Amino acid sequence: MFLEAGLLTRRSVRQFESGKKISRADIEDILKIAMYAPSARNCQSWEFIVIDDDTLKNKIAEVHPYAKFLKDASIAILVCGNIKEECDSGYWVVDTSAATENLLLAVHGKGLGACWCGVYPNENRMKDISEILNLPDYLKPNGLIVIGYPKSFPSQPKDRFKVEKIHYNGFSR
């Protein structure tokens, strides 16, 4: 099935062809798919900060210890929770995580590559990146999604299906 094939072949991409642009139409297609994710009580408590400015990319790469490859990527999208819009306290984390997975799959579907670089719950990373981007207090960064044209595609994932992770009617091991 086509859908299943797409879902099973997504990998994190960390090597990009530098200097290549992603069109605004592609960025908005990707974000449209992100916004179709489920969210608690359909509150859609997310905001997406698109970063294509080289100075900002470099500043973020300096403060994020595991996103140095952002320097070569075309863009990053910081997926943020808007705590003014979440329906119940703390739901921004799950709403934005659901949107992020949709986003990653949309990128993959376009033949681009992406890597989710964790920001939440690391308080230093949240603070440093919020300061660089001048975010208001009510926006909480969850993940920094680095996106670009893959230099090479990572190998296919090893089989991750583990039947022992499935428990019917309770947990047993």
Ligand X SMILES: Cc1cc2nc3c(=O)[nH]c(=O)nc-3n(C[C@H](O)[C@H](O)[C@H](O)COP(=O)(O)O)c2cc1C
**Amino acid of residue 12:** S
Cα separations (Å) of 21 from 58, 75, 115? 16, 8, 17
Angle at 75 between CA 15 and CA 67, to 5 degrees: 50
Closest to ligand X by CB, 118 vs 150, is 118
In this chain, which stretch among 27-35, 87-95, 114-122, 129-137 interacts with ligand X, using CB under 6 A? 114-122
Helix (H) / strand (E) element for 3: namely helix 2-9
How many Cβ atoms are within 10 Å of 155's Cβ, its own excluded? Answer: 7
Nearer to ligand X, 31 or 145 (CB): 145
Q: Is 157 one of the binding residues for ligand X (CB under 6 A)?
A: yes
Q: Which of 77, 115, 139, 145 binds ligand X (CB under 6 A)?
A: 115
Q: Residue 80: enclosing H or E segment and its boundaries? A: strand 75-82
Q: Is 129 in the site for ligand X (CB under 6 A)?
A: no
Pick the closer one to ligand X by CB: 7 or 131.
7
117 sits near ligand X (criterion: CB under 6 A): yes
> Which of residues 36 and 66 has its CB atom nearest to ligand X in the complex?
66
- 90 is a site residue for ligand X (CB under 6 A): no
* Among the listed residues 28, 29, 63, the one whose alpha carbon sits nearest the alpha carbon of residue 144: 63
| Chain positions contacting ligand X, by CB under 6 A | 11-12, 14, 66-67, 115-118, 154, 157
